[in-house]
Structure 1
Amino acid sequence: MLVQQQEMQLSAYSDLYNLIVPKENLLRKINELIDFSFIYDELANKYCSNNGRNAESPIRMFKYLLLKTIYTISDVDVVERSRFDMSFKYFLGMSPEQDVINASSLTKFRKLRLKDADLLNLLIGKTVSIAIEKGIVRSKSIIVDATHTLSRSNPFSAIEVLKERSKLLRKAIYTVDENLKGQLPVKNMDDNLQSEIAYCKELENVIESDPTLSLIPTVKEKLNLLKETVEDTQDNFILSKDMEAKTGHKSADSSFFGYKTHIAMTEERIITAATITSAEKGDGPELPKLLRVSQQNGMEVDTIVGDTAYSGKENLKLASAQNIKIIARLNPSITQGIRKDEDKFDYNKDADRFVCPAGHMAIRKARQGKKNSGENQVDTYYFDVQKCRTCPLRDGCYKPGAKTKTYSVSIKSDLHQEQISFQETDYYKEKSKHRYKIEAKNSELKNVHGYRRASSYGIENMQMQGAIAIFTVNLKRILKLER
């Protein structure tokens, strides 16, 4: 049963917060910046209002997840740290002597309460409204790009992840005492998953048998991460492949298995919209949604800054209809890539290849025709026929018995003269200088807030992870610009 969120419990020790948690503390500033009651309003219908024992406040549970993202720690460690870290307790709205939740409650909260909630748009919309209200957002431009997130299960196998986690744990131990090297179990040198799991468990037991060592914070955090990985591997190693993740390409020769987060951001570096897709999806087709959501969140947009992936014909038409300028260089493969509505071949600008509706990328391309001959040149993309023969989408796409499958693009150099001329203007050149900002934002998400790898399986969990990570970086940015 859910009761209305209560204020911090009265306690004789509450004044300690004024002494221990300074005004400059990040968590105090976040609490003062935003009223989290919107979380209660969003999730109230996920609880029973008149039956059962009282549930933990959804606002407090959400704040636990926010702390996980801010400090990149495990469920176990965020709960344990909340037991003694006064800034955590203050942020969570707890009295100093109040006890914490069981870490397993966070898993249940994610699965039962956050499932089906449009958390991504809710949290981004909330931070954008705060930024606009405070006058932080002044520009009318959005910068768009996509960032890659590796699946939890790839490109590393389960055994590779376990080996890396156990290595980090050993490194933390040796930092404390190098003499312990000879006292730890002998490393597993096999490529057998069960042998590695057995080694990791043995390593856990040895460390936990030494109370002094296991309670050292740096060792304890790495130990909890290893234990969490072992448990997850035991549950999922047979079905460890993330069924909703796909293979995307960073270049013609390099690929990754996971997801893409498509982002729109202001020149002040406030993210205004995001969509999450599997990795094989093109960047350009996501622009209309990014623009629409940014506008719904209160942004007035007159310019869109991006790379060549966003200069497709449909995007140029959309921008022209709304009198919006697109700062993105034309690429003939993009501008003419879609021949008809049912022929959705996406262009991957990183690999300079088209990807078919089934997610398979062309293996090579060739240009036909001569320049200045009076006829259009054509780029022809060749696909792997072996894959086409067994593809579930082959009907109407691949002719049975054909030895090749190609996709041709006509290059018309005079079709976009207006955009070509615009690319030479001072306004275009000045606005294009802002594109680097979104690369820095992508780097912050990955390197500071754990967005390099998915924390769980499936696109729904990826959206939840993205929502909290983007919410975090937006709050931090607002606090920085508010000074």
Structure 2
Amino acid sequence: MISKQETLNLSPYMELYNLIIPKDNMLRQINELVDFSFILDELKSKYCLDNGRNAIPPIRMFKYLLLKAIYDLSDVDLVERSKYDMSFKYFLEMAPEDDVMDSSSLTKFRRLRLQDINLLDLLIGKTVEIALKKGIITSKIIIVDSTHTKARYNQKSPKEFLQEKSKNVRKAVYQLDEEMKEKFPPKPTSNEVMEELNYCRQVVEIVETQSKVAQIPAVKEKLNVLKEVMEDYDLQLSYSPDPDARVGHKSAESAFFGFKTHIAMSDERIITAAIVTTGEKSDGHYLQELIEKSKETGMEIDTVIGDTAYSGKDNLQYAKAEAFQLISKLNPNISGETSHRKVIFDFNKDAGMYVCPAGHMAIRKARTGKKNQGANQAETYSFDIEKCKVCPLREGCYKEGSKSKTYSIRIKSMEHKDQIILQETDEFKILAKERYKIEAKNSELKNPHGYNTAKTAGLFGMEIQGATTIFAVNLKRILKLLSEKKKE
């Protein structure tokens, strides 16, 4: 149950916050910048208003998730820090003497309260609304790109994943107390997951009861990660390779197992739209949706900047219809006509190869036809026939008994003459250089905020992580731009 209106905190110690939390503290600034009542309005229907025990306020629960995104902490470490970090308690609108919740409440909140809520669009829309009201966004330029996130469990067996996390714990302990090597039980020799899980439980118990270093942060953080993984298994979450994750390609030689987040960002480096997909999805397919979502937040757009992945014929036609410049260099492979095909393959601009609907990348390519006669030339991509023979999507794509599988794209040198003329202009070349800004933003999402690896299994969990991480990054950017504006 949640009460129909927030109650005032009458603790006699609240004045302490004014003494110990400086005015320029980021969490204080976020509290002053954002009216979080929109979270309560959005989640009211998920709670009973007049029956049952009082629930932890939804706004506080959401703020916990926001802190998790800002500081890249596990649930256990987040709650532990909120016991003694006064800036956390201030941000969570708790009295200094208040007890914190149990970390398991966060898991329940994510699963039970955030289902059927389009949190990603909601949070991005709120930050863009704030930025527009503050006069921070003034440009009409949008930059688009995607960034990949590895699945939490990667392509490892459950046993391998448990082994890795228990090894991290032992290694952290050994660095501080070598005598502990004699206290751990023998490692399992079978391939049974339950045996490995029992071994992990023994490792946790020994570290917590017999080690002198269990409370040292370097050990405790690794221990908490192992506990979360074990809890996931006990709760029968997807513990083996994530069922929603897919193989995507960063280049012809490298791949990842996980998800993609397709991002639109203003020239002021505030993310205006995002779409979370599985890892194999092609960037270019999401341009139109990103632009429409950005417009829904109140953005005006006259220029869109992206790499060659966005120069497909459909996107060029959309740009013309919506009257904006598409600063995306043509690639003859992407621009080829494919609408007549029953099975459409996607072009991976990083690898320079086509990828079939099952996620398999071409193993080689060759150009056919006479030089300097673009209309008669084609790029032919060859695929691993052994994979095609057993592919679950082979019907309509692979003909039984075939000794090869190829995919050809006709090169049309004159079809996109308007874009060819545009990309030769000085304006195009100058604007194209601005694309580095979104690459820097992708790096920011991954490095300080842990967006390089999924925190939980599944597409839903990835969307929650994306929503809170982008919300945090946008708020930090708004605060920085407001600070710069005051100095002018």
Q: Which band: TM-score by shorter chain?
A: over 0.9
* More displaced 10-residue stretch of structure 1: 311-320 or 157-166: 157-166
Residue-by-residue CA offset, 1:46-98 (whole Å, 9 max, x unaligned): 11223222221111111111111111111112112212211111111111111
Partners of 1:264 and 1:199 lie apart in 2 by 46
2:275 alignment partner AA: T
1:311 equivalenced with 2:306 (yes/no): no
Provide the C-alpha distance between the structure 1 equivalents of 2:182 and 2:14, rounded to a whole number of angstroms: 45
Unaligned runs of 5+ in 1: none
**AA partner of residue 409 (structure 2):** V
Aligned match of 1:281: 281
RMSD: 2.3
Moved more, 13-22 or 336-345: 336-345
The alpha-carbon distance between structure 1 residues 147 and 382, as it changes in their structure 2 partners (threshold 3 A), is: same
Structure 1 residue 357: Cα displacement:
2.9
Residue 383 of structure 1 corresponds to which residue in structure 2?
Answer: 383
Q: Secondary structure at the match of 2:228?
A: helix
Change (3 A) 1:238 1:287: closer
User: Structure 1 residues 112 and 406 mapped into 2: Cα distance closer, same or farther (>3 Å)?
Assistant: same
TM-score by length of 2: 0.92
Q: How far apart are the structure 1 equivalents of 2:31 and 2:190?
A: 48
> Are the counterparts in 2 of residues 150 and 257 from structure 1 also a CA contact under 8 Å?
yes
What does residue 486 of structure 2 align with?
A: none
User: The residue matched to 1:256 in structure 2 has which SS?
Assistant: strand
Q: Is the 8 A contact 1:8 1:94 kept in 2?
A: no
Paired position in structure 2 for 1:14: 14
Mapped to 2, the partners of 1:130 and 1:462 lie a distance apart of 25
Partner of 1:215: 215
| Structure 1 segment 11-410 matched on structure 2, within 5 A | 11-170=11-170, 172-173=172-173, 177-178=176-177, 180=179, 182=181, 185=184, 188=187, 192=191, 196-210=196-210, 213-233=213-233, 240-340=240-340, 342-373=342-373, 375-410=375-410
Q: Number of paired residues?
A: 482
Q: Deviations over 1:172-220 (max 9, x none)?
A: 4456x45556565278496855565444333322321158633333432
Partner Cα separation in structure 1 for residue 467 and residue 385 of structure 2: 39
Query: Post-superposition shift, 1:381?
Result: 1.8
- Greater shift, 356-365 or 419-428, is seen at 356-365
Distance 1:14 1:52, change over 3 A: same
Q: Is the Cα–Cα contact under 8 Å of residues 261 and 274 in structure 1 kept in the other structure? A: yes
d(CA) in 1 for partners of 2:145 and 2:172?
A: 37
Question: Residues 166 and 358 from structure 1, CA distance in 2 versus in 1: closer, same or farther, beyond 3 angstroms?
Answer: closer
Task: Report Cα offsets for 1:263-320 as digits up to 9, x if no partner.
Answer: 0111111000000111111000000000100111111111111111001111011011
What CA distance in whole angstroms lies between the structure 1 residues aligned with 2:173 and 2:8? Answer: 39
User: Structure 2 regions of 5+ residues with no counterpart?
Assistant: 484-488
Preserved CA contact (<8 Å) 1:233 1:240: no
> Would the aligned equivalents of 1:383 and 1:405 in 2 still touch at CA under 8 Å?
yes
Q: Is the 8 A contact 1:158 1:237 kept in 2?
A: no
Q: Distance in 1 between matches of 2:200 and 2:132?
A: 50
* Equivalent residue number for residue 443 of structure 1: 443
Whole-angstrom distance in 2 between the partners of 1:390 and 1:141: 46
Q: Is the 8 A contact 1:5 1:40 kept in 2?
A: no
Paired residues of 2:353 and 2:362 also in contact (CA < 8 A): yes
8 Å CA contact 1:75, 1:106 repeated in 2: yes
Q: Given that residues 168 and 222 in structure 1 are in contact (C-alpha distance below 8 angstroms), is that contact kept between their aligned partners in structure 2? A: yes
Q: Is the 8 A contact 1:337 1:346 kept in 2?
A: no
d(CA) in 2 for partners of 1:156, 1:278: 18
Relative to structure 1, the CA distance from residue 26 to residue 157 in structure 2 (aligned partners, 3 Å threshold; closer, same or farther) is: farther
